[in-house]
Structure 1
Amino acid sequence: MIRSFFLMAALATVAACGGGDPFNPVDETTEDPVTEPTPEPTEDTLTVPESLAGNLKSIAYDATNKTVTAQIYALDSTPVDVIYTRDATRDLNGYEAYTVQEDSLDRFFVAMVGQSTDGSVQAGLVGDGGQFNRVLQGAYYTREGDFTPPEIGTGPGAGQVSYAGNYVGITNIARPIGPGSVDPSLLPGDPVMITGQIFLNANFSDMAVNGGIFDRQVLLSTPTDLPDLALIITDIGTDGSFLGEVEFTGEVGRKIGDYGGVFGGTNASSVGGAINMEEFIDALDDELERGFFVLSQCNTPGEASICTNVAD
């Protein structure tokens, strides 16, 4: 019932924004399988699983000079590695936005990226709002340096630690953009975004992590609340990476997607990761959400306000 109500509210709100199909339920393309992304720079090899990487083949984000160069399959621009334009008006939840569109009838792509306070991890997403029945979207995360977990001891904070911060996602809900004189079936879409908060608990003795995403909203003309997500407990690998399942909070055993990421920094001070969910609302077909996060460890510089509730 909650998800059905969300659907009706979302469609009504987007329809009020203008013409065109208010919900653009286009699949991610399954044509021409892509290689795993190889973000740069990094000192060790980290593979982002295909379920999270999607159509994103590579990306380089320079947080100092505010530049993003990405390669996505396909039809963003030329050459293959495309330089995106900084667009601060689209920044969300502390993350930076970059865009590219060759002309008004080409696909419109948005890149959202973030880097940890200590510079050890990055994560982000790139995607369009769809055109001609397909969206092209993908996410990434990467680490600078080696995996150095915190020292294991006894008691609070000695090997079991928390992370918290902001979440941003992209959907295949789209607002048509382009010349009003053109047939609506030709218009590219401007993707509707999602914001939220994320909290992770990790234990580096057990080498396991889990968490949740809350305060989720889809940013229609009137922001609409979305269900909370549970990030199911999963192992942390010897390289500091992890991959687990996503469920709606309270719906035990019903997988709706994947999440993954990597820990970085001294004593695993930061973590970056990504999320992918497809076909997760019973009342809809072909719905899609991809998201990412870059978090600081609680009790370190840059911690989120929720960290006041965890042990020092």
Structure 2
Amino acid sequence: MRAIKSMAAAVAVASCGASPLVTASSNSGGGTTTAAIPADLAVNVNKIVYDPGTTPGGGTIQIEIASLDTTPLTATFTRDASLDVTGYKAFRMQEDALDRMFIALAAESADGSVRAATVGDGGQFNRYFAGGYYERDGAFDAPPVNSATPGSGQVSYAGSYAAVTNVGLAAGGPTDVTLPIPAGTDPSLTPSQPARVAGDIFLNANFADSSVNGSIYNRVIVDSGFSLDDVILVAATIDGNGTFAGTTENPAQVGTGTYGGIFGGTDAAAVAGVVHLEEFESTWTNEQEHGVFVLTQCGLPGSAPICATVAP
């Protein structure tokens, strides 16, 4: 049976150096606002072009990542619905059996205003490469704030969360899509497929005081069913362009990483962003997770069931 390496031993791979601030661009139409992605979220990603397509099985993604992935530098990944995580389309790239194996997870909001993606490989030769991006079509349009109305400008967002990790998978299991390794190949040459994470995410945003915070919960490694701790998204500031960047903690208030994103649509109907976690499981070492979220504002069509418990 397939097993996740770090459940039996420490994760042996580490991320390469962070990229400078990058911008992401889209081929989905005019008016796209490209946000400066913080270096600790972009990490190795230089550019992503995501088109969700018009069918559940469709979509395309092109990624330029500072790594040993493919030639040309901007690679067109292969759509692979077998790797989808709830709410997110999956794509993969591996040029040959001894090259790194990458998985990308991406989504666009229901109104088409924002999109985000994350990508990573499972590790090879003691290193792995990963990162994420987010973007918006059009200008930032905050919800109206009326100081005379209690709760005005306070809104919630909820939905699914997905991620890839450097917790590489052992070969040969039911979710393994790496290319077959020739018999007799030395194990030190073998690339790993990144494990995928699924979960739920909830955000509260107050546009009167320009702040956002929330939680990622029900986190589980899709490939094994292994449960992971919740992640707290510590309160961060929403800037004048509708973007935000903050830190994450575990429930014991120990820092675990960073998150960031961008609001889009009419009255900030949607939000998209990415997460980068480090050392998030106490029994593991050097583990990292690169997550993505694309959420609808509570009270709008298609919002998550948990939205029934919050004020409209």
Per-residue deviation, residues 129-179 of structure 1 (Å, max 9, x unmatched): 110000100011111110000111254663100000000111111124441
Give unpaired runs (5+ residues) of structure 2: 172-179
What SS does the aligned partner of 2:98 have?
Answer: coil
Does residue 150 in structure 1 map to residue 143 in structure 2? yes
The percent of aligned pairs where both chains have the same amino acid is 42
Q: How does 1:1-312 map to 2 (within 5 A)?
A: 13-14=3-4, 24-30=11-17, 34-41=19-26, 43-64=32-53, 66-153=59-146, 154-155=148-149, 158-177=152-171, 178-179=180-181, 180-221=183-224, 223-249=225-251, 251-252=252-253, 254-312=254-312
Tell me how far apart the structure 2 counterparts of residues 160 and 68 of structure 1 sit (CA, whole Å): 34
Tell me how far apart the structure 1 counterparts of residues 130 and 94 of structure 2 sit (CA, whole Å): 15
Structure 2 residue identity aligned to 1:215: N
Tell me how far apart the structure 1 counterparts of residues 32 and 88 of structure 2 sit (CA, whole Å): 24
Change (3 A) 1:16 1:287: closer
Instruction: After superposing the two structures, state which structure 1 stretch, 61-70 or 276-285, moved more.
Output: 276-285
Change (3 A) 1:302 1:206: same
TM-score, normalising length: structure 1: 0.89
* Matched residue, 1:8: none
Structure 1 residue identity aligned to 2:23: T
Structure 1 residue identity aligned to 2:227: D
What SS does the aligned partner of 1:44 have?
Answer: strand
Does the CA-based 8 Å contact 2:161-2:201 persist in structure 1?
Answer: yes
Tell me how far apart the structure 1 counterparts of residues 9 and 112 of structure 2 sit (CA, whole Å): 39
RMSD value over aligned CA atoms?
Answer: 2.0
TM-score, normalising length: structure 2: 0.89
Offset at 1:36?
2.9
Tell me how far apart the structure 1 counterparts of residues 242 and 6 of structure 2 sit (CA, whole Å): 46
What SS does the aligned partner of 1:51 have?
Answer: helix
Give unpaired runs (5+ residues) of structure 1: 1-11
Structure 2 residue identity aligned to 1:280: F
Change (3 A) 1:16 1:151: closer
Offset at 1:24?
4.0
Structure 2 residue identity aligned to 1:277: L
Instruction: After superposing the two structures, state which structure 1 stretch, 208-217 or 273-282, moved more.
Output: 273-282
Offset at 1:80?
0.8
Offset at 1:35?
3.6
Structure 2 residue identity aligned to 1:263: F
**How many residue pairs get matched?**
293
Structure 2 residue identity aligned to 1:60: V
Does the CA-based 8 Å contact 1:107-1:128 persist in structure 2?
Answer: yes
What SS does the aligned partner of 2:77 have?
Answer: strand
What SS does the aligned partner of 2:296 have?
Answer: strand
Instruction: After superposing the two structures, state which structure 1 stretch, 41-50 or 180-189, moved more.
Output: 41-50
Per-residue deviation, residues 153-211 of structure 1 (Å, max 9, x unmatched): 25466310000000011111112444143111100001111110000000101110010
Does the CA-based 8 Å contact 2:5-2:170 persist in structure 1?
Answer: no
